[in-house]
Structures are given as C-alpha cells and as structure tokens.
Structure 1
Amino acid sequence: MSEATVSQSPRGGLFRGAALMASGTAVSRALGFVRTMVLVAAVGVTGQAADAFAVANKLPNVLYMLLAGGALNAVLVPQVVRAYKRDAGQEYVDRLLTLGFALLAGSTLLLTVASPLLVRLYADPGDPAQVALATAFAYWCVPQMFFYGVYGLLGQVLNARGSFGPYMWAPVVNNVVSIVGFLLFIAVFGGATNPDVSSAAGWSGLQIGLLAGAATLGIVAQALVLVPALRATGVSYRPRWGLRGSGLGRAGSVATWTFAGLAIGQIGYVVVSRVASAAPQGSTTVAGNAAYDLAFVLFMLPHSLVTVSLATALFTRLSAQATDRDADAARATFSVGVRVVGVFTLVATALLVVLAEPLTRIVLLGGAGVDAAAPVVAAMAVGLPAFGAWSMCQRVFYAYEDAKGMVPIQVVMAAVVVGGTYLGRALLPSSGWVVGIGLAMSASYVVGAALAMLRLRGHLGTVDAPAIVRTHLLAGLAAAAAFGAGWGARRLLDDVLGSGVGDAALECLAVSAAVGLVYLAALRLLRVRELDLLAGPLLRKLGRGGSRPV
C-alpha cells in the first residue's frame, strides 16, 4: 500500500489528527503568550500580588491533576476504547461520565471551602497580607477544578472516538475570555505599576473578583465548548447511576494507583511552591511563584506543540495495541514516538537556553523581572528532552493500565525534586532558589525516563533502546552544534541591538533561524531519519498499524 493510499485511509487520519491538534495547540499557546503578557501587565511577575495570584490560580490545576487528571489518562481512554468495541459501550461511557461529574462536583465543593488551608499548605505563611489575598483569590479560582474535570472527561471521550481537534482548540476560547477580562481589569484599576495593585494590602473585593473571575470564566468556557463537539461525534450522553456489572472495579483500581503516584508527586510540589514563595523575602526583584509560572509557560510551549499532540494521537493506538496484546506493535509505536519527540525537544532545549533572556523580555514587555525569570527558563529547559521521553513512557503505562508500575518511579522522582530544591536553598542565595528548583525538576525527568524504560520491558519485552539511544546521541550532537551557532549569533546581535521588546523579537527571529538551519544541516549530515518522520511520513507509517520498526 502506498503512502498516499494510507493517508487517505481511515488509519491515515492519525496524521491529520496530530496535525490538527498541533495547530490548535500552536494557536492556543500563541494566545497563551498574549494572556501571560496581559496578566503580567495587570499584576507583574514579582511582588506580593503576583505571587498571591500565582499560588491561588495554580491550586485548581494542582488539585485537578491530583484527584482526577491522571486518572483520566490511566482509566478513561483505555476503558472507552474497549467499551466501543462491544455492545452497550455507550452505557458504560455514560456511567463513567456520571461518576466522574459527581466526584468532581463533591470534591470541588469541599476543596473550595478548604481554600484557606490549601493556601497555607502551598505558600510560605510569612506575610499575612499576601496569604489573605491568596486566600481571597483561591475562593474564586478553586471552582475551576470542576470545569477542568469536565473539559478533561469530555476531551478524553472525544480522543477515544478519534476526534482530536476540539480538545486542543478549546483552550483558545479560554485564553480569549481571560485576555478580555484581564484587559478590563487594567482599564478599570490600572496595571502593575499602580501601588494599590502591586501591594497585597491594597486590593478590594471588586478587584479580586474581576481578576480571578476572568480566569475562572475562561475555564468554564473551555469546558462548555466541547459539548457540541461531543454531539457531532454521535455521542449522546445521559446520566446513568450504578456501578454493579459495569466493570468499573478494574478502572477504580487503576485510578487508585494513579492517585497514589500523583499524591507522591504533590509532596515534591508542596516543597517547590513553599520554597518559591519564601524566596522573595519581601523583595520585588527576586523570582518567586509568579516567575516560576512564567518560566513553566515557556518550558511547556515546545512540549505542548509536539510531544502532547503526538502522544495524545498515539495513546489511543497504544491502548488498542495493549488490548490486543500486540507487544511488537506497541513497542514500535513507543519507539518512534520517543525518537521523534527527542529530535524536536533537543533543538527546542538549545533555543530556550540561548533565547531565555530575550524571550522573557518579550513576554514581560521589557518590564521588571527579566533578570529574575530568564535563568529559571534556562534551568527548566535543560530537562525538556527527558520530560518528553517520560511523557511517552507514561502513555505506555496507562495503555497497559499499569499505574501501579509507575509509583516506585514517582517516589524516586519526588525525592530528587525535594532533595534538589532543599540543596539549592542551602547552597544558593535566595535569588537562585527558583533556578535550583528548575534544575531539580530537570534531574527528576532524566531519572524518571531512565527508570521507566527499564520498567517497560516487562510489557514490551524491549524498548528498542539501541535505536532510541542512537537517535538521541546523533540529534544531541546536532543540537550542540546548533546551540553554538545560536550562542555566537546572539553575542553578535547583543553588540548591535538595544534592550527594547522589538530588539528582543528581532534577536529571537535571527537566532532561531541560525539554530534551525544549523540543526537541519547537521541532522542531514548525520543521517538522522527521524527528521523525515517528524515532517509527516511517521504518522502515515503508523497508520499502517505501527507493527514494523522504523
């Protein structure tokens, strides 16, 4: 069968699905940059108000991932794929959704009431005014958890049905709503330069409601836009209660182990959040939680564009291969996914490290906080390739419903994060504590990916290690050459360009071009075939079934 035939076949839809997801993610991330820039203009990237909102607005994300997010990956897609292969599949999905909605509603209500305790858990209690402001924000933000869950539940059902686009395009709506709300806040109350805004003690109830309400309304819109998309795929949900005979017992076991692993990870994140919260010590120029969030947005951009899109598209295939007990096909799918992700993330790391300062300058519109946030971006970027590999490993564990197998790995990763964070706090000045956090996270991804690949041999027999190592070594050499070219280009441009936002944008474009050209030439010279796979034929080959290694 020719590649053209495959691309037109139903299986060839995997390529179109991943491309559609990547395009949706690109638009969403572009708007996410605008959202971040507007938010920084509203409350800043350092200081009391910025860090208070950062803590509160992270809580629903953290709680959702702890209580439900991981369980969706571990449980829902494999279960839905199996359900639609048998009679009464929709009834089974209805029961899963009903149970999920009910648990989300109950837990969201309880956690919203517990907002003061949550803020004190994740933030350093040293500044009473900042803690009080973060708590007020949290009452508005924690309810986002329910709508994150609705978005996750409906999105995973859409993915299992082969409809990938809506899930990735829905955050565009979230960003647009949030941007409008933040701009309205600036218009009414002024921005971060207003002393009443930058200080935690100067906030009124109307200010709190407008800023945090805009963030929450965006998540509500993101969830609700998936309802018509679900209907378009032929899924007609109706509430169904009762677990007996539904087969949810097995799903519950997987979800329990997923929760255990995520709870272990949260121990590390509590330490990270508290150390980041304590770092400023009243200074408005030292990186804290808000600077950490900004760095994480930049870190996640390349991961979201390729790794998440490809892994999401491959996950449904991996789940089907695991159900069919086709280890050869699952191994080939995993190997190709890890190699293609590696080829992209290695050059993305080079770019982020070289361009950390001008990229941060663009997002902050040349304002204060660049020197505090840019080193954090570089520290996080070092771990990007390992993070991509770890993400692909997770998908295999979830496809085989082996959340239990990840728990020992997550224990080690959490220990690396906690140990590295405290080591950085002990050895570095407070201005470097969040940089130490970024390096500790990068180290944890390296350890996690290595341990996960060893563990996956129990499911796949082997993980095609020679091909994976070869690709990463060759692409690493190419990325090193590209990094050198980018660093040299930036040093030259720094001597002729100014420090404005326009200068930073020009510098990013020029350096990116230099890095990209050198990287592509080096990959060609080293005959790294995954470059061709990244452009599209990879997914057409996987459309044949993925049973043959590339």
Structure 2
Amino acid sequence: MSEASDESLRRGAAVMASGTAVSRVLGLLRGMVLTAAIGATGQAADAFAVANKLPNVLYMLLIGGVLNAVLVPQVVRAYKRNVGQEYVDRLLTFGFATLAAATIVLTVCAPLLVRLYSKPGNAAQLELATTFAYWCIPQMFFYGVYALLGQVLNARGSFGPYMWAPVVNNVVSIVGFGVFALVLGVAPENGMTDATAWGVAPTVLLAGSATVAVAAQALVLLPALRAAGVHYRPRWGLRGSGLGRAGTVATWTLVGLAIGQLGYIVVSRIASQAPEAAGLSEAAGPVAVAGNAAYDWAFVIFMLPHSLVTVSIATAMFTRMSAQAHEQDVDGVRASLSSGMRTVGVFTVLATAVVGLLAEPIVRLVMPAETDEAVRAVAVVVVAMIVGLPAFGAWSMSQRGYYAYEDARGMVPTQIVMAAVVVLGTLLGRAVLPPGEWVAGAGLAMSLSYLVGALMGMRYLSRRLHGADGARILRLHVRAAVAALPALVVGLGVLVGLEHVLSTGLLAALTECVVVSALMTVAYAVALRVLHVTELDDLVRPLLARVGRYRRR
C-alpha cells in the first residue's frame, strides 16, 4: 500500500471518530429531551423503553459481526469483477426484501413481543407499550437499510457518511421530542407519565418522531452512495450470485454471537441476584450493591473509548485487509493487521489508565442524580472492565482478520473458550466474593476472556499469515504500558490535589475529568516520544492534519 493510501485510511478513521463523538454528545442531549417530555421513570417511560428495545436489539445484532463478516468482503471482491455492481444490486435487493418481510411479521407480532420483553401488569401501560411498538418496530427496516448501505460505502472507501448519519437521527429526535415537550409541557407537570393520559396525537408525535429519525439516518446515505459511484437498481435472483457462500459465513457468525450471548445470560442472572443476596431491600439494593443496572452503565463507559477510536480504525483497516485477502496478498494483510493493532494499542493503553483512575468522576458525570454509594458501586465495575480494554482492542482487530478471509467458522472455537472463561470466572467470583463484588468479578472475567481471545486469535492468524508480527505488537503494548506509568503518577497527584480543593458534585467531577485526562495525555505523549514509539504519529496525524486545514481556512 502506498503512503497516499495510508494517509487516506487515517483520514477515514479520523472522520469516523469525529462523527461518533458528535453523535455521542447529541445522543446524551436526546436522552435529556426525552426525559423532559415523558420522565425517566413511570408508566409511559417504561412503556416507550419496552417498545423501542426491539429495533435496537436488531441493530446491535446487525453490527455485531454479520455484516462485517459477509458484506464488506463480498462487496470488495465484487467491485473487482466486471459484474460487480450487478452483484451488489442483487445483494442489496435480497437484503432489503428480507428486512421488509421480517419487519412486517414482527410488527404484526407486536403484542406478543411486548409481553415477551415486559411483565404484564397494568393494563393501560401494556396497551400503551403495544401501541408504541406498532410505531417503533418499523425502525428495524431502516436500521437494516442504514447498516447495508453503510457497509457498501465502507467497502468503497467512503467512511464518513456511515459514522455521521446517526447525528441526523439524534437531531431529528431532539426536534420531535422537543416539540412534544413544547406542546404538551414537561414531565411530570404535563401528566404524561401516566399511561391513561395518552391519546392518538401524543403517541404518534413521540413514537413517530423516533421512527422518522431512524428513517432519516438511513435515507441520508443515498446521496453519499451516488457520490461514491454506486448506482443501485433492484435486481432479483440469487442463482450464480455467490450468495450461498455469504449465507454460510453469516450462519457461522450468528452461531458465534449466540455463544457469546450464553455468557452474557450467566452474567445477567448473577448480577440480578447480587442485591438480594446482600440482604438489602429492593429499594436500597441498587443504591449500595452493583446489579444489572450497574453492569449496563459500566459497560456503556467501557465501550465509549472503543467506539470512538478502535472501531473507527478497525473499520477503515478492515476494508483494506479484505481487498488484500482477495488479492492473496498475505504480506499486506499481515502488515495491515500489525499496524492496526499497534495503533489501537497506543490509544487503548492510555484510555485504560485515564478511565481507571477517573472512574468515579466519570460515573458521576453520566449518573449525576445518583448517590455516592451508587457511584462507587458502578465505578468498581468500570475499573474491572477497563483493564481489559487493550486486550479487547486486539481481539477486535483479530476478528477483522478472520472476517477478511470470510472464516467465521474458524472463530467459533475461540468464542467457545471465551464464553467459558466468562461463565467460569463469573461463577468463581460468585463463590468467593461478597455479593457486592459479584458484578465486578464478572467484569474481570470479561477482561480475561478478551485476553484469551486476543491470544488465540493471534495464534490462528499467525498460522494463516505465516507470522502475525506478534513480537512487534507485544513490544508496543509493553512500551505503551511503561509510558502510562508516569502518566498515572501525574494524574493521581493532580486528582488528589483537586479533591482537596474542590467540593463534590457535577462541576467538580467535570473539572477533575478535563484537567486530569489532559495532563495524563501530555505526560503519556512525552513518555512515548522518549521511548521512540512511532505509532503515536499514526494515531494523531489525521487529527493534526484536520486542525491544519481549519487554520488555513
């Protein structure tokens, strides 16, 4: 690959990271506006949460690996053939038709699905949730369209639109929810927290806004598709299209996802037992003892640095590796995989140090209304999870290596071992730890599973690629860890000083996060320079280039 190609790849990763960051901020604002409209608790809020769960579950399944494993390699290969666009047309047509059929069936089944995901109780609330579901389940189709078109764009080297499209979703949602609050007032004064207060107009305005927002997220990709040179036209027929192989890859990918879910079920069950096992009442339990809610919040924080940087780099690198694998360029795949792992490692080691040290202030920022006991309970789980972030980044890049060769089946043994580590580690934690630390034990088990997955994945790729540059990747992570030590010392000293000067509260937490993370980043960068870690340049060059362009304007 040429230097120009490398620079294009880095720019793509930077664009994706910036889009994700903006979307995250707007997503937080969207949640605040929705809370103002219908409240954070109550019958209406719970009913809407149940109804809006289903399309999001499908979306997470789509981006969980199936499209990465199937679509990108297929599209990259297709565009290298004379019939490339025809193949992509058939692939998209088949995908759209399947999504439409599934959406229609599941929309008809809305009453059954609502009862499956919620405990039947208040009749008015159940009826409201079902009505919301009729409006929300069609989001499934648009989430699927967004994922399909976005992966085609990624395969064509156009990364920005896919990551920036959710910004449109959040903006439309904010406007719709804002109009709801403006017309009907804010909760709880507007009385809309009660399920019996809802009529046709407010239901359509709220749920309709959410669905229109997802539709906008998908449709905004159409101009980008044309700009990337993709002119889609519906084509039917699968014979001779090669989709049989794609279906096999998708099947094994789903098997792997199902195996992973078994581990999560065990974690969820044990987390739900922790408050009761600690001898606390139902009301007090979530405050003092980490349970499922604490796990969910901790996982959100754990995933934030991963989604901002690692996913962007991995997505951009995956397109390159897929093309190299198709060309049987083993050396190219090995070099791309090594470069991606080392660049991701520079970031994930720093993120681990920063988030681990600032766990309590970060949790305070995302949960401003919670008690100090609840914040500490979640922060412990965050620390247990975040220590596995570098291994998680390496495992994510290893997955792209499997997917580049369309070998989802080869990844299943590793996924089985990882799930076993999670299950056994969580059960061991339950046996030897007090209930208040069960969820933290599960977090440590997850971190260990990522390490096992990364090592097994590298072993597989080393065999397939006749070496995976493992020694160089390991040296980078060791040097990055050494560079993180002075950053931790600086951060800890500053944090202790700020805690003596500042009072507790939201503003204090924000100040601690901004000041300490900034100084730790500087100390880390200086230490990396002293250690001659050149991968730092690969990480920051796109950002510096964008800043330079803005200054020239």
TM interval, shorter chain, is 0.7 to 0.9
Larger mean CA deviation between 228-237 and 270-279 belongs to: 270-279
Q: Which moved more, 1:267-276 or 1:505-514?
A: 267-276
Report whether the alignment pairs 1:175 with 2:170: yes
Cα deviation, 1:411-448, whole Å, max 9, x if unaligned, reads 22223333444455566666555444433332322221
- Paired position in structure 2 for 1:486: 491
Q: Of 459, 474, 481, which aligns to 2:479?
A: 474
Per mean C-alpha deviation after superposition, the further-off stretch among 28-37 and 142-151 is: 28-37
| 1:178 Cα deviation after fit | 2.9
Q: Is 1:222 matched up with 2:217? A: yes
- Cross-structure match for 2:16: 21
What is residue 348 of structure 1 aligned with on the other side?
Answer: 351
> Structure 1 pair 135/464, CA: closer, same or farther in 2 (3 Å)?
farther
Contact 2:338 2:469 in 1 (8 A): yes
How many residues were matched structurally?
532
CA-CA distance at 1:318 after TM superposition: 0.2
Distance 1:503 1:484, change over 3 A: same
Tell me, yes or no, if structure 1 residue 242 matches structure 2 residue 237: yes
Which residue identity does 2:256 align to in structure 1? Answer: G
| Deviations 1:4-30 (CA, angstroms, capped at 9, x unpaired) | xx66x4664223222222222222222
Between 360-369 and 512-521, report the one with greater CA deviation.
Answer: 360-369
| Identical-residue share of aligned pairs (%) | 65
**Which deviates the most, 149-158 or 268-277?**
268-277
The 2-side partners of 1:245 and 1:352 are apart by: 51
Specify which of 390, 396, 399 is matched with residue 391 of structure 1.
396
> Which amino acid letter does the alignment assign opposite residue 532 of structure 2?
R
Deviation at 1:109, TM superposition (A): 3.2
Q: Deviations over 1:161-201 (max 9, x none)?
A: 1111101110111222233344456564645899984x9x8
Contact 1:31–1:175 (CA under 8 A) maintained in structure 2: yes
Q: How far apart, in 2, do the equivalents of 1:193 and 1:416 lie? A: 49
**323-332 or 218-227: bigger deviation:** 218-227
Which deviates further from its counterpart, 299-308 or 365-374? 365-374
| Partner amino acid, structure 1, of 2:220 | V
**Cα distance change, pair 390–214 in 1 and its aligned pair in 2 (3 A):** farther
Following the alignment from structure 1 to structure 2, what is the Cα–Cα distance between the partners of residues 391 and 370? 29
Q: Tell me the SS of whatever aligns to 1:536.
A: helix
Residues 74-93 of structure 1 mapped to structure 2, 5 A cutoff: 74-93=69-88
Of 400, 403, 422, 2:405 maps to 400
Q: Which has the higher contact order (CA 8 A, sep 6+)?
A: 1
Match of 2:322 among 309, 319, 322: 319
Cα shift readout 1:478-533 (whole Å, capped 9, x = no counterpart): 22332233233222211211223222211111111221122112222222221122
Provide the residue aligned with 1:413 in structure 2: 418
Which residue of 1 is the match for residue 523 of structure 2?
Answer: 518
Distance 1:392 1:86 in 2: 27
- 1:465 is matched with which residue? 470
Q: Displacement, 1:116? A: 6.1
| TM-aligned CA distance change 1:105 to 1:373, over 3 Å | farther
- Aligned 1:111-510 pairs, distance under 5 A: 111-114=106-109, 132=126, 140-184=135-179, 188=184, 190-191=186-187, 197=193, 204=198, 213-273=208-268, 282-283=282-283, 285-286=286-287, 291-367=294-370, 370-424=375-429, 432-510=437-515
Please identify, of 528-537 and 225-234, the stretch whose mean Cα deviation from structure 2 is larger.
528-537
Once residues 38 and 224 of structure 2 are traced to their aligned partners in structure 1, the CA distance between those partners, rounded to angstroms, is 35
The one-letter code matched in structure 1 to 2:391 is: A
Q: Distance in 1 between matches of 2:39 and 2:291?
A: 12
Question: Which digits, 9 at most, give the CA deviation of each residue in 1:430-486, with x for residues without a partner?
Answer: 655544443333232222112111121232111111111111111112223322332
Note closer, same or farther for the CA distance 1:219–1:196 as it changes in structure 2 (3 Å cut): closer
Stretch moving more, 363-372 or 328-337: 363-372
More displaced, 286-295 or 160-169? 286-295
Deviation at 1:87, TM superposition (A): 1.1
Question: Does structure 1 conserve the Cα–Cα contact (< 8 Å) formed by 2:310 and 2:393?
Answer: yes
CA distance in 1: counterparts of 2:161 and 2:255, whole angstroms: 30
Contact preservation (8 Å) 1:37, 1:363: no
Q: Unmatched 5+ residue regions in structure 2? A: 277-281, 546-553
Distance, in Å, in 2 between the alignment partners of 1:46 and 1:435 is: 26
Deviations along 1:195-239, whole A, 9 cap, x unmatched?
A: 984x9x888577776655544433222111111111222211111
Runs of 5+ in structure 1 lacking a partner?
Answer: 541-550
Distance 1:423 1:52, change over 3 A: farther
1:5-16 to 2 correspondences below 5 Å: 9=4, 12-16=7-11
